[in-house]
Structure 1
Amino acid sequence: MTPLRQRMIDAMVLRGFRPRTQESYLRAVAQMARHYRRTPELITDQEVQAYLLHLVRERHLARSSVNQASSAVRFLVCEVLGQNERRQRIPMGHTPQRLPDVLSRAEVAAVLAAPMSMKARTLLMTAYASGLRVSELCQLRGCDIDSSPDRMCIHVIAGKGGHDRYSLLSPELLEQLRLYWRQCRRTAQAEDWLFPARLNPSQHLDTRSAGRYFYAARNAAGIAKVGGIHTLRHCFATHLLEAGVDLNSISQLLGHAKLSTTSRYLRMARPGHSAGDSALALLAHLPKVEPEAPSSPPTPPRPPLH
């Protein structure tokens, strides 16, 4: 490891960057260095701009990916090398604000009823019913599920930005989690991962595997809309808004730092779905579709989740 790379890692750790952000920044800077075949310290502002154009015109990367490269280089130049006067010469492009596809309640029900393992079904149900980011979902532990009647919540620890928060735990989701815990996590302790990796249970499930669960279920349900597992988070927010939950409450449940981030769901919601007093119980309002069992044999009963 070069001294410059170590300095950049140290600077990101001091500022509380999440591991995935650190990896993305390091990868972006390393790719630029390989492009010019020299250390990033010697790359000029003009060369940085030429490289960003190369990403747009020749590699056809999305604007968000190009901006991530710009942010990584800005961090290196301004925070690590201490050359803050160069910040404005490393441009950030305007990112088009496209609205994502949102599944209808019938489509969500079809996804959750597709043939899949108990683990995959429980993970996808949790994603929709709680609105967690996929990284937060994969890092849940058994003890993060608070099933006390006077609490009934999911504790998200060190979410985006390092902030803790609480999200929804409906009776329907709790029932599914308890069933999953009995059938799939018999020897697990409360501190263990809720969704462990298949080959190494001491590690949590990685986000790519969680994404593959969603793609497989979506394809099995015959749904042509694009988008990954994050679609379920969009559905969570949009369906709550359509059911009459106020925007500020949804923003807190999602863990958004700014209400303006949540306000885009106002353009995605379609009024007219009345849920009455049970607006927060998303699973209860899905059309009834009998889940299809996977081909593997059933697992013996296991102790309940506490």
Structure 2
Amino acid sequence: MPVLTLKAIVHRRQECIAIYFANDKALQAAIRKLPAVKWSQANTCWYVPLSEGNYEAIVQTAVNKATVDNTHLKAYLQKRKGIAATLTPSQLPSVPAKIVLPLSPAYRLCTENIQALEQLIQQLQLKAYSASTMRTYRNEFLQLLQLLQTKPVNNLTAADIKRYMVYAMEKEGISENTAHSRLNALKFYFEQVLGREKFFWDIPRPKKPQLLPKLLNEEEIRQLFNALANKKHKAMLFTVYSAGLRVSEIAALKIADIDSKRMQLFISRAKGKKDRYVNLSPVLLDILRNYFTTYKPAPVRYLFESEQTGQAYPTRTIQQIFTNAKNKAGIKKEVGIHSLRHSFATHLLDKGTDIKYIKELLGHFDIKTTERYLHVSKKQLVNIVSPFDDLWKQEAIDW
């Protein structure tokens, strides 16, 4: 029986499980079916993000096909646990449980830089930034601190930051979006924590790529929904698409947020801490009522609760539900659950809904964010005839 060796690697700044095995067509076919699995040319192996769920999926796949050797992976996790233990409560203030320190590579921070990290976190907490933003700023700031090691970050000049950003983009190969996040974190520290006004005045920002929203067409959405067998999972994705919700919003949606009299869903403290109402589809309301009466145990507080914990579904679990359904439906597009929100907005545009109303439904602060969907809507494009077609119909060209 072949051996499946699992190792921990850091690929594209993310901790991953690398999967190594001798050439075996049956085993390779099984590994390729793993959710979120990708091939790394640099490491010459298949890999998945490092998580307990992905590890269990690998072990399950290997049953009766291969022997799993997780020695290297266990050693890495033990070392990671030891590194985390070095950051004691006295060194680092308590933060929301969702925010975790990146644990690779090992920390070698001087006292001054540990204090700088503490001050950054404290200021973020005082300003009540979201957990997601706090995690991003902390992690991006740590990239610089890890590089500095014993050199105090407070001694850096604007010219030093310029050189560092060139290094990060050329040597580390960070993307334009990551560069913006890193600059935002550094700008927050030097200007909001240290009070150095206009410290970043002369530091240019890379131009972001103008990416269009990735969406599914109506036939693909039909295939996606029909690939789901679990009614709770069906109701979950139905709600995301029907109301154009973010994954964090569907996870946090409570039973009390459903107003069947006004046919509305209340979305509380969404992105930007912004409340909003969205339309409740009559069809979706009937589906949710059916879900309530047939699914046991019935939810108590959250619309979709975990049977094990009785709490809201983790966003990662909901994302995995979407990925599993996409793979089962045979959809090849590189899309995540957010594509249902993009599809909701684009399909409304296709059906003639005013973009101002779509902006309110999506909870966008700026109409320019919503206007991205104008570039992917087919409403106007279907009426445009290519000049090539006119020439062909006039028999002006040969084939």
Please give the range of the TM-score, normalised by the shorter of the 2 chains.
0.7 to 0.9
Counting only pairs closer than 5 Å after superposition, residues 44-59 of structure 1 correspond to structure 2 as: 44-59=157-172
Q: Equivalent pairs: percent with the same residue?
A: 32
Q: Which amino acid aligns with 1:109?
A: R
- For 2:231 and 2:337, locate their aligned partners in 1 and report how far apart those are by CA, in whole Å: 17
1:209-248: CA deviation from partner (whole Å, max 9, x where unpaired): 2211111111111111112111011000000011111000
Match of 1:201?
310
Answer yes or no: is the 8 Å Cα contact 2:213–2:372 preserved in 1. no
**Shift of residue 116, structure 1, vs aligned partner:** 4.0
Q: TM-score, normalised by structure 1?
A: 0.81
Shift of 1:20: 0.8
**Deviation of 1:186 (Å):** 3.5
Relative to structure 1, the CA distance from residue 81 to residue 103 in structure 2 (aligned partners, 3 Å threshold; closer, same or farther) is: same
Q: Does 1:123 align with 2:236?
A: yes
Pairs within 5 Å for 1:273-284: none
Tell me which amino acid in the other structure corresponds to 1:249. Y
Root-mean-square deviation (Å): 2.1
Q: How far off its partner does 1:262 sit?
A: 0.6
* Change over 3 Å in CA distance of 1:58–1:216 after alignment to 2: farther
Larger Rg: 2
1:181 aligns with one of 283, 288, 292: 292
Structure 2 matches for 1:1-306, cutoff 5 A? Answer: 1=92, 2-38=114-150, 39-148=152-261, 151-184=262-295, 186-189=297-300, 192-197=301-306, 199-202=308-311, 204-271=312-379
- Relative to the length of structure 2, the TM-score reads 0.63
Question: Deviation at 1:90?
Answer: 4.0
* Structure 2 CA distance for aligned equivalents of residues 108 and 117 of structure 1: 16
User: How far, CA to CA, are the matches of 1:213 and 1:157 in structure 2?
Assistant: 23
Shift of 1:197: 4.2
Q: Is the alpha carbon distance of 1:73 and 1:176 closer, same or farther for their aligned partners in structure 2, counting shifts above 3 Å?
A: same
How many aligned positions are there? 268
Which of the two has greater strand per residue?
Answer: 2
Measure how far apart 1:176 and its partner are: 2.0
Given residue 374 of structure 2, which amino acid in structure 1 is its aligned partner?
L
Runs of 4+, deviation exceeding 6 Å: none
Gaps (5+ residues) in structure 2? 1-91, 93-113, 382-399
Structure 2 counterpart of 1:299: none
> What is the rounded CA distance, in whole Å, between the counterparts of 1:58 and 1:201 in structure 2?
46
Quote the offset at 1:175 in angstroms.
1.9
Whole-Å separation in 2 of the counterparts to 1:146 and 1:133: 19
Given that 1:128 and 1:235 are in contact with CA atoms closer than 8 Å, whether structure 2 keeps it comes out as yes
